[in-house]
């Protein structure tokens, strides 16, 4: 008999349900008896003892369903050691609930912050197995996270749609893509959608280079330009600012996001009509694509096997086309950025894509 706690934490993404289904199916197929305690709304559920008993039936029919059947929330790692508004020690509360329910292990599906908390709980003595979720693909220790490919699909579709209207009107269009502080999503959706300019946080941009790219296209007979801009894109000047100076700039920032600032600059400097489209949370919504269904199911299946073998303290990951396990202590606190010398960047440049550098 295995008593398994499970939770989904942080921003949701596609294929969370597929991954949980993978874990439970893999355990059920082995013939082991189990009790699954589904903690509601992420770590909050574990802290406050809010859970739902789940049977294998609850995991049936959810392979294709977006969101998470457990609900999720953000419980920031940086305040995890601080007591809550009623003075409750959150880490102690999580441990107490784990022991009270006599759990054999805790399965955590999460991104960067959630993996840090998973590592902390593992260091505190709980048996933890985690799975890598996030549309940002910024988790250290894995080449790919689930949710990423589905989000690439959504962002690419947005760029595809914009292409036709941009062509009709001969406008400059900016599509702002999620991804937090990294550019994986923008880079991949931008290339898949044939964006002419791709701006990512890892390569600070020079507005003059961006304008050269727009004007160059016009000289070559193109009536429109599409820019895929990461929500975390940053100009060369801003990248030079100290943390304090950048914070000050943001405090007086008049634009909703970097895309609107860019649009304003391009409009003023070139006189061209510029429009901004922000697909936003659509990128995390809807059904997982076939890639993510397969990928999350594989990760879930392997997580189930780790539980059977009682191998704890690991995240199931994907490296060099293989599913592997990576110690949680190796992942926590690191960010997987797009290397500025990545071959995909070089190849995009060979195709004429401007990165603003
Ligand atoms: O980490 C996933 C993500 O969608 C990021 O791409 C984005 O910056 C952030 O979450 C948005 O967070 P929230 O849903 O809390 O607004």
| Atom 6 of ligand 1: nearest residue by CA position | 179
Give the pLDDT of residue 36. Answer: 98
CA pseudo-torsion sign 285, 288, 292, 293:
positive
Q: Is the CB of 135 under 6 A from ligand 1?
A: yes
pLDDT per residue as tens digits for the range 174-194: 999 999 999 999 999 999 999
Cα distances from 39 to residues 42, 44, 120, 186, 213, in angstroms, run: 7, 8, 18, 33, 50
Q: Supply angle C-alpha 264, 266, 272, rounded to 5.
A: 105
Looking from the CA of residue 112, the nearest atom of ligand 1 is 1
Give the pLDDT of residue 31. Answer: 96
Give the pLDDT of residue 6. Answer: 98
- Written as six digits, the tokens of 291 are 């890639």
Question: Across-strand partners of 35?
Answer: 3
Measured in angstroms, how far is the CA atom of residue 62 from the centroid of ligand 1? 23
Instruction: Report the C-alpha gap between 29 and 97 in whole angstroms.
Output: 28
Reported as type and span, the H/E element at residue 163 is helix 148-169
% pLDDT > 70, the chain: 100
pLDDT per residue as tens digits for the range 113-149: 999 999 999 999 999 999 999 999 999 999 999 999 9
**pLDDT confidence band for 340 (50 / 70 / 90):** confident
Residue with tokens 């050691």: 81
Instruction: Report the C-alpha gap between 75 and 11 in whole angstroms.
Output: 10
Give the pLDDT of residue 279. Answer: 98
pLDDT per residue as tens digits for the range 252-310: 999 999 999 999 999 999 999 999 999 999 999 999 999 999 999 999 999 999 999 99
Measured in angstroms, how far is the CA atom of residue 123 from the centroid of ligand 1? 27
Helix/strand number for the chain, H first, E second: 13, 11
- Written as six digits, the tokens of 225 are 């330009």
Q: Is the CB of 111 under 6 A from ligand 1?
A: yes
pLDDT per residue as tens digits for the range 19-58: 999 999 999 999 999 999 999 999 999 999 999 999 999 9
On whether the CB atoms of residues 227 and 210 are closer than 8 A, the answer is yes
Reported as type and span, the H/E element at residue 274 is strand 274-277
Higher-confidence position of 56 and 354 = 354
Give the pLDDT of residue 242. Answer: 96
Give the pLDDT of residue 16. Answer: 98
Give the pLDDT of residue 160. Answer: 98
Give the pLDDT of residue 338. Answer: 98
**Is residue 213 over pLDDT 90?**
yes
Arithmetic mean of pLDDT, 142-171: 97
pLDDT per residue as tens digits for the range 237-254: 999 999 999 999 999 999
Distant-in-sequence contacts of 265-273, Cβ < 8 A, 24+ apart = 265/207, 266/172, 266/207, 266/210, 266/211, 266/214, 269/207, 269/211, 270/172, 270/211, 270/214, 270/215, 272/171, 272/172, 272/214, 273/169, 273/171, 273/172
**Pick from 238, 215, 233: which is nearest to 225 by CA?**
215
Q: What is the mean pLDDT of the chain?
A: 97
| Atom 9 of ligand 1: nearest residue by CA position | 180
Instruction: Report the C-alpha gap between 147 and 299 in whole angstroms.
Output: 12
pLDDT per residue as tens digits for the range 196-206: 999 999 999 99
Instruction: Report the C-alpha gap between 199 and 186 in whole angstroms.
Output: 8
Structural domains present in the chain? 2-147+288-331 (3.40.50.450), 150-284 (3.40.50.460)
Which of 178, 181, 184, 335 maximizes ligand 1 atoms within 8 Å of its Cβ, making it the mutation to test the pocket? 178
Give the pLDDT of residue 63. Answer: 98
């Amino acid at each position: 008999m295995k008593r398994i706690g499970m939770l989904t934490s942080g921003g949701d993404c596609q294929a969370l349900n597929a991954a949980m289904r993978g874990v439970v199916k893999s355990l059920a197929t082995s013939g082991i008896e189990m009790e699954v305690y589904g903690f509601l709304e992420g770590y909050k559920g574990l802290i406050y003892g809010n859970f739902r008993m789940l049977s294998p039936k609850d995991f049936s029919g959810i392979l294709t369903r977006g969101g998470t059947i457990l609900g999720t929330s953000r419980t920031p790692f940086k305040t995890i050691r601080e007591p809550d508004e009623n003075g409750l020690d959150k880490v102690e509360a999580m441990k107490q609930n784990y022991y009270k329910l006599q759990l054999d292990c805790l399965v955590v599906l999460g991104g960067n912050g959630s993996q840090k908390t998973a590592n902390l709980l593992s260091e505190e003595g709980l048996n933890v197995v985690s799975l890598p979720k996030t549309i940002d693909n910024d988790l250290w220790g894995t080449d790919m996270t689930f949710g990423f490919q589905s989000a690439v699909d959504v962002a690419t579709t947005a760029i595809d749609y914009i292409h036709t209207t941009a062509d009709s009107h001969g406008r400059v269009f900016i599509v702002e893509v999620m991804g937090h502080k990294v550019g994986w999503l923008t880079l991949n959706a931008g290339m898949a959608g044939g964006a002419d300019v791709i701006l990512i946080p890892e390569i600070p941009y020079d507005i003059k280079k961006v304008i050269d790219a727009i004007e160059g296209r016009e000289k070559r007979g193109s009536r429109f330009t599409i820019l895929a801009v990461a929500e975390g894109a940053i100009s060369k000047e801003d990248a030079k600012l100290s943390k304090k100076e950048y914070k000050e700039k943001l405090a007086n920032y008049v634009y909703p996001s970097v895309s609107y600032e860019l649009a304003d600059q391009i409009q003023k400097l070139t006189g061209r009509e510029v429009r901004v489209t922000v697909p936003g949370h659509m990128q995390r919504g809807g059904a997982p694509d076939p890639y993510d269904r397969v990928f999350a199911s594989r990760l879930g299946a392997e997580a189930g096997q780790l539980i059977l073998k009682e191998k704890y303290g690991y995240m199931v990951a994907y490296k060099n086309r293989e599913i592997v396990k990576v110690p949680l202590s190796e992942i926590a606190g690191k960010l997987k950025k797009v290397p500025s010398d990545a071959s995909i960047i070089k190849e995009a440049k060979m195709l004429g894509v401007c990165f603003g550098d």
